[in-house]
Structure 1
Amino acid sequence: MPESKLKIWGRANSVNVQKALWCLAELDLAYERIDAGMAFGKNDQPEYLAMNPNGRVPTLVDGDFVLWESNSIMRYLALAYAPASPIYPAEPQRRAGVDRWLDWTLSTLQPVDRPVFWALVRTPVEQRDMVKIQKDADAEAVQWRIVDAQVSSRRFIEGDDFTIADIALGAYARRWFGVEGVTKPHLAHLERWFAELARRPAFQKFVAPPMS
């Protein structure tokens, strides 16, 4: 397909922007990133809302095409620029397996991750209710046990190949392993899988930096 100059709108400390940036790097695609959201603003302005009526980040611009939702952005990048790559497999059952985890990340994992992350990273220490935060962390741990079981018998989430499912889950796993002050279960398979992701250059560049 014709070359397009890709643009990503979004702040680098957003987990959803990080997913898109990680995917772009894995596919070796050139792009421009424009800070938007939280301290940078812009996402509440008419120009941005015309692209993304949700006022959230990231937003991808590829020529005249505009796309929001980070998992949809990853799917699009793989299909448009690397259709033969195992990062988003073509075979229907394997693709469905990847899609399942992309959906699960949003429907099940993200809702239990958010209160823990916000409480321990974006809330002043003196305002933290550690009893409640531990309860929230326990609820999140239930979901990470599911991922731990999934990778107990395979290298990556859906087999031997790294996929965008690993990106989606890996970005949240960085938050889970990175937060401190709560008790978390030892999940050996999850830790092994995450350690492998953490060695990838794109993870180190976009996901590993200090959380904020």
Structure 2
Amino acid sequence: MIKILGKSSSINVRKVLWTATELGLGYEQEQWGSGFRPTDTPEFLALNPNAMVPVLLDGEMVLWESNTICRYLASRSGETALLPADPAARAAVEQWMDWQASELNNSWRYAFMSTVRQSPAHQDAAQLAAGVAHWNRHMAMLEGQLADGRDYVCGQAFTLADVVLGLSTHRWLSAPIERPVLPAVLTYYERLSERPAFMQHGRNGQP
């Protein structure tokens, strides 16, 4: 059985938990990270030198980076619903996953640290305003992708792109910031909320 190391409140751990649940995979979870077992110990650093969660253990294999773990689990399952076998369809899913990990994640860092984490180092009013605008601009890009009537990010089928972007959407809607009204994003969020695995690991009270 696979083992997932990481605390359940982490957005990146929740990606992996949601994916495993969607795939019906059995797993064991160990709580690592702030408030639980520390990740800066030699034991954990031997698994992930970045000292970050999640980490996946599958037999002798050790894997880190949440989006990579999600892709691995989908491929491991032998099913192609979440990660298509067709090269073009798969590339579209991975494109949006990579965008989430690089562009979208970077857009919310200052605003999230300021408003949700209440970090003393992130309380500059001008930088906060710029950060909120940056975050909203990127969410408007997701609105554009969804505004043509598609049910999910890459079309009418739920994929791994929706796992990572669904959690990002939840974070945006949960943050105490000024947001534009993005109707397609809101409809998308409610559609994801019909999935029990999202309610368990995504829309579960954690920002």
Fold shared by both chains (TM-score > 0.5): yes
Match of 1:164 in 2: 160
Match of 1:85 in 2: 80
Quick one: percent identity of the two aligned structures?
36
Match of 1:148 in 2: 143
- Counterpart secondary structure, 2:63: strand
* Cα separation, 2, equivalents of 1:52 and 1:124: 26
Shift of the alpha carbon at 1:193?
Answer: 0.8
Match of 1:191 in 2: 186
Shift of the alpha carbon at 1:184?
Answer: 0.7
Q: CA RMSD in A?
A: 1.6
Deviations 1:95-149 (A, max 9, x none): 0000101111111000112222221221169x84555323211111111111101
Runs of 4+ with >3 A deviation: 127-132
Match of 1:205 in 2: 200
Q: Say whether the 8 Å CA contact 1:75–1:88 is kept in structure 2.
A: yes
Which runs of 5 or more residues in structure 1 are unaligned? none
Deviations 1:168-201 (A, max 9, x none): 1111110100111x21100111111111112211
Q: Say whether the 8 Å CA contact 1:7–1:31 is kept in structure 2.
A: yes
| One-letter identity of the residue aligned with 1:27 | L
- Counterpart secondary structure, 2:29: strand
- Counterpart secondary structure, 1:51: coil
Could you state the TM-score of these two structures normalised by the residue count of structure 1?
A: 0.91
* Cα separation, 2, equivalents of 1:209 and 1:122: 18
Correspondence for 1:13 among 9, 13, 17: 9
Which runs of 5 or more residues in structure 2 are unaligned? none
The total of aligned residue pairs comes to 205
Farther off after superposition, 36-45 or 91-100: 36-45
| One-letter identity of the residue aligned with 1:143 | H
* Cα separation, 1, equivalents of 2:178 and 2:41: 41
The answer to whether residue 25 in structure 2 is matched with residue 29 in structure 1 is yes
- Counterpart secondary structure, 1:39: coil
